[in-house]
Amino acid sequence: MSRANAFMPLTRRHSSELKSSIGILRSFDEQSAPSDGVGFWAVAFAFATAMAFTTVPTPLWSLLAQRDRFSSLTITLVFGAYAFAVALSLFLVGHLSDWQGRRRVLMPAVALQIVAAVVFLVWPSLPGLVLARVVSGLGIGAVTATATAWLSELRATDSRRAQTIATSANLGGLGLGALISGVLAQWAGDALVVPFAAFTAALLLAWLLLLLAPETRRPPSPRPRYRPQRISVPAASRGRFFASALAAAITFAVFGLLTSLAPSFLAETLHQPSHALAGAASFAVFAMAALTQTLTASRTTQQSLAAGIPALLAGIALLTIAVWLPSPSLGVFLVGDVVVGAGAGLMFKGALATVAEISPKEHRAEALAGLFLACYLGLAGPVIGLGALTQIASTRVSLLVFSGLLALGILAATPALLGRRAGRPSSQPQPTSS
């Protein structure tokens, strides 16, 4: 030991030794902790699996309707209960991971999907179906917001890739759930049990894998007082905001149509009772939406909207024509399904980007909350209306009325969506509660 070290004050020496020990422990902790790469894909898998579970019932609605003599209105009411539960969850707990940490919110949200899957298995009557869909919806609101934020933070150096993966997990998961459920129902036997049992196992695996993902958001101290998510409308750009909200609502209304009543249309009007086909039709619309968004990542907001609006109108027209032909055409219906997926993907991308552009940074999350509220109101309201309409009119007339209203809504929103860009609002937006 040198003379200088011999006379070093004890406090300084101990401080140096403490720093050295902390450095060793920190190095050991970093080596033993799961890598961001493993954690990123664990979160992506959990996100996709949870979203996929929500569309497992899609190709099974016709079976449930036959078994329990459900009307189209009953199916859409069950579907609407799910959509309203998602909207409620988005604004009550969707933002809590900012305060509590990502894992503390996402793992209970995935656990709710497991509970919903068990309810589907043990209580397959109408009250059980409603309860399972509500429980699932309450979890999905938290899953969507938390998983998207967690993926972005785990890939903070490559935000575009994180956004692409999040979109693929969200929309791609919705499509895969219906496809896998339809295939299992068609060929695995026990169609109302096997799909839910398979996804119960997949969700359990997803829940366990989340333990490998490193936490990216530590709870603040002291923690802020709880409040629901605020909704804010940019005061100086309300025209474009409400046009974007209408476009997003229409997009989700189309998604709702193809995940609630389309299997019944296929079975009853197009005489195609295949569960695998019903699942494939739902998969196609979501897969095309995700693929289109990925392939047009470099396009501007206006370019996305300019392409998405006519594509969505054309797809809706094709779906209607397929039912109204003298001999209803499955081929035309499937083409319309794919075109709708492409148009809906571009339309939603454009609406989301528009709201992000016109909102001040400090209130952007609140403005996006307003957009997502419109999405889930669009998912539930119009489809419930269509289900009610089928009770007093034929399927063909009901779909024609539904399509006509959607087309009018798209045309009403088009001038504001494609008009000149408004500048950033100079005044603070006025928050309103959901």
pLDDT digits (tens, 9 = 90+) for 327-374: 999 999 999 999 999 999 999 989 888 888 888 876 776 788 788 888
Which run of H or of E encompasses 231? strand 231-233
Which run of H or of E encompasses 233? strand 231-233
> Do residues 334 and 284 touch, judged by C-beta distance below 8 A?
yes
> Do residues 283 and 172 touch, judged by C-beta distance below 8 A?
no
CA contacts within 13 A on the Cβ side of 321: 12
User: Which of 302, 323, 315, 301 lies closest to 398, judged by CA?
Assistant: 323
- Give the model's confidence band at 376: pLDDT under 50 very low, under 70 low, under 90 confident, else very high: confident
How far apart CA 423 and CA 172 sit, in angstroms, is 34
For residue 22, the tally of other CB atoms under 10 A from its CB is 10
> Do residues 272 and 334 touch, judged by C-beta distance below 8 A?
no
Residue type, 290: A
Pairing verdict, β 231-233 and 430-432: antiparallel
Q: Please report the pLDDT score of residue 90 as a whole number.
A: 86
> Do residues 260 and 378 touch, judged by C-beta distance below 8 A?
no
How far apart CA 337 and CA 254 sit, in angstroms, is 10
Q: Please report the pLDDT score of residue 423 as a whole number.
A: 40
What is the average per-residue pLDDT within 164-169? 86
Full DSSP string of 354-377: HHHHHS-GGGHHHHHHHHHHHHHH
| 3-state SS class at 227 | coil
pTM of the model: 0.81
The maximal CA–CA distance of the chain, rounded, in angstroms, is: 103
Highest mean pLDDT among 14-23, 77-86, 222-231: 77-86
Mean residue pLDDT of the chain comes to: 85
**Residues in Cβ contact with 193 at an 8 Å cutoff, skipping those fewer than 6 apart:** 121
Whether the per-residue pLDDT at 430 is higher than 70: the answer is no
What is the average per-residue pLDDT within 189-212? 96
How far apart CA 375 and CA 94 sit, in angstroms, is 15
State percent of the chain over pLDDT 90.
49
Tens-digit pLDDT profile for residues 37-50 = 899 999 999 999 99
**Residues in Cβ contact with 87 at an 8 Å cutoff, skipping those fewer than 6 apart:** 141, 372, 373, 376, 377, 380, 434
Q: What angle do CA 250, 347, 173 make, to 5 degrees?
A: 85
> Do residues 304 and 249 touch, judged by C-beta distance below 8 A?
no
Q: Please report the pLDDT score of residue 237 as a whole number.
A: 84
> Do residues 48 and 98 touch, judged by C-beta distance below 8 A?
no
What is the average per-residue pLDDT within 50-63? 93
Whether the per-residue pLDDT at 402 is higher than 60: the answer is yes
Tell me the two tokens of residue 373.
């509220």
Whether the per-residue pLDDT at 308 is higher than 90: the answer is yes
Q: Is the dihedral of CA 371, 377, 380, 386 positive or negative?
A: negative
Peptide bond before 228: cis, by omega within 30 degrees of 0? no
Whether the per-residue pLDDT at 424 is higher than 50: the answer is no
Q: Is the dihedral of CA 42, 48, 49, 51 positive or negative?
A: positive
The values of phi and psi at residue 238, to 5°, are -65, -35
Higher pLDDT, 231 or 430: 231
Tell me the two tokens of residue 402.
């539904």
Q: Please report the pLDDT score of residue 10 as a whole number.
A: 40
Q: Please report the pLDDT score of residue 56 as a whole number.
A: 96
What is the average per-residue pLDDT within 213-231? 84
- Give the model's confidence band at 35: pLDDT under 50 very low, under 70 low, under 90 confident, else very high: low
| 430 beta partners | 233
Q: Please report the pLDDT score of residue 365 as a whole number.
A: 67
Q: Residue 201 CA to chain centroid, in angstroms?
A: 21
Q: Please report the pLDDT score of residue 27 as a whole number.
A: 38
